[in-house]
Structure 1
Amino acid sequence: MSDLLTTHRAVFSDCGLYRYLLEHDYGRSGPVISLGMVNPSDANEEKNDPTMTKVDGFAYRLGASKTVVWNLCALVNKDVRALAHATDPIGPDNDAHIAQAINGADIHIVAWGPTTKLPKALRTRWRSVVDVLHKAGAKPMCWGIAKDGQPRHPLMVAYATPLISWSAPHE
C-alpha cells in the first residue's frame, strides 16, 4: 500500500521530543480520516512502522484520501511504559494539533486500546480528547471495543473488521 502514498508529513515539536501529527496523503479523492492512538512510535515522514502500515491498509479499504494521525500523548517512544517517567508525556501543543486534525476530517476514528497499559496518571487522558471531538461535532468511530470500553488498536483487529460507533465508557 505504500506505493499509493504521495505524501508523508509529520509535525514535530521544535525540540523533537513530540510528534503531534502524522499525515499520509494517498493522492486520490475521498474522505479525510482523523485517527487517534496512544503515543507515537518511530514512524515519520520518511518511514512507516507496523501500526502505520496497518492504518494505511484500513484507509485504503475505506477509500480515504488522507489519514491524519494524532495521539493522546505526543511523546515519541516505542514503549508506552516510558510515558510514566516523562515530565510531560502529552506535549505542550498536543491538544491544539488534535483539534486541528479533528476539525479537518470527515471520519473520526479512535483507536488507543485499553487504558490499563498507561501509567495511572494518564488513564483518563482520553476524556479531554473526547471533549475536543464533541466540541467539533465529531462522531467517534472505532474497530471494536476492548473489555474496558476503550476503542481497539488497529494492530489488534483484522482488515475485515467494520467501523462502529464509539461512545465513551461510564466509569
Structure 2
Amino acid sequence: MNAIISACGAFRFRLERDVQMEGLTFAYFGVNPSTADATSDDATVRKWNGFTKVNGGRRFIVGNVSAFRATDVRALGATLISPDQWHANIEHLQRIIADADVLVPCWGNRSKAPRHLRNDFDMVLAMLQTSGKPVRHFGLTSSGDPKHPLMLAYATPLTEWTRAK
C-alpha cells in the first residue's frame, strides 16, 4: 500500500495497491481522490481491488483528473488549484501511465465536475490514448464518458476503448 499525498494533505497524486502475486498492472483514472491513503481504503478503492483481481491483475495504481481530495466532487468548484499543483498532477499521471500495463479511465459523467475542469477530461483521455498502451473501460455513460466502477458488478467486462472523443 502506497500513496503520494501533498505535504498539506489536500492533494493525492498517486495511490497503489498490490492485489495478488502475478498479473498485470492496471491504472484507474477517476475525477478526484477521496479519503483513501497509504493505509486506508475507501469504497472506490475496494471496488478497484475487486476488479483488478477479476481481471487477473497483480496490482493497481490510481490517478485522477484533479488531485484535490474531496468526498464530494462539487467541492472542486470552490477550490483553486495552483499551477504547481496542476503540473505536479500531470507529471504523476505520466508516471502512472508509464508504470501500468492497462489504462482504465472511469470517472463517470463529466457533467458532475465544475465547468472549468471539463476540458481536463479530454486532455487526460488523450494522454491515455496516445500512450501506446491498451485503454479499456467498464462501459460508457449516455454522454460518452467512461463509467465509474462503484455501482458496477464484478462481472462487468473491461472493453477496449474504440470511441473517438
The TM-score bracket by the shorter chain reads over 0.9
Q: Are residues 167 and 84 of structure 1, via their aligned partners in 2, closer, same or farther at CA, if it must alter by over 3 Å?
A: farther
Give me the identity figure in percent: 34
What is residue 127 of structure 1 aligned with on the other side?
122
Code of the residue aligned with 1:58 in structure 2: it is: F
User: Quick check: 1:151–1:166 contact (8 Å CA) kept in 2?
Assistant: no
SS for the counterpart of 1:123 is: helix
Task: Compute the displacement of 1:13 (Å).
Answer: 1.7
| Partner in structure 1 of residue 110 of structure 2 | 115
TM-score by length of 2: 0.92
Q: Residue 46 of structure 2 corresponds to which residue in structure 1?
A: 53
Q: 1:21 is matched with which residue?
A: 14
Q: 2:96 aligns with which of 83, 98, 101?
A: 101
- Contact conserved, 2:20 with 2:57, CA < 8 A, in 1? no
Alignment of 1:67 onto 2:60: yes
Name the counterpart of 2:148: 153
State the 4+ residue runs in structure 1 displaced beyond 6 angstroms.
Answer: none
Deviations 1:106-154 (A, max 9, x none): 1111100001101111112111112222332123211010011000001
| Deviations 1:28-77, CA, capped at 9 Å, x for gaps | 12100011011000011111111111111111111211100000000001
TM-score w.r.t. structure 1 length? 0.89
1:5 corresponds to which residue?
Answer: none
Question: What runs of 5+ residues in structure 2 fail to find an aligned partner?
Answer: none
Contact conserved, 2:22 with 2:57, CA < 8 A, in 1? Answer: yes
| 1:43 counterpart = 2:20 | no
Per-residue CA deviations over 1:78-103 (Å, capped at 9, x if unaligned) read 01000001111873400110110111
Deviation at 1:27, TM superposition (A): 4.4
What SS is found at the alignment partner of 1:57?
helix
Distance verdict in 2 for CA 1:83–1:136, change over 3 Å: same
**Separation of aligned partners in 1, 2:25 and 2:159:** 17
5+ residue gaps in structure 1?
Answer: 1-7
Aligned residue pairs: how many? 163
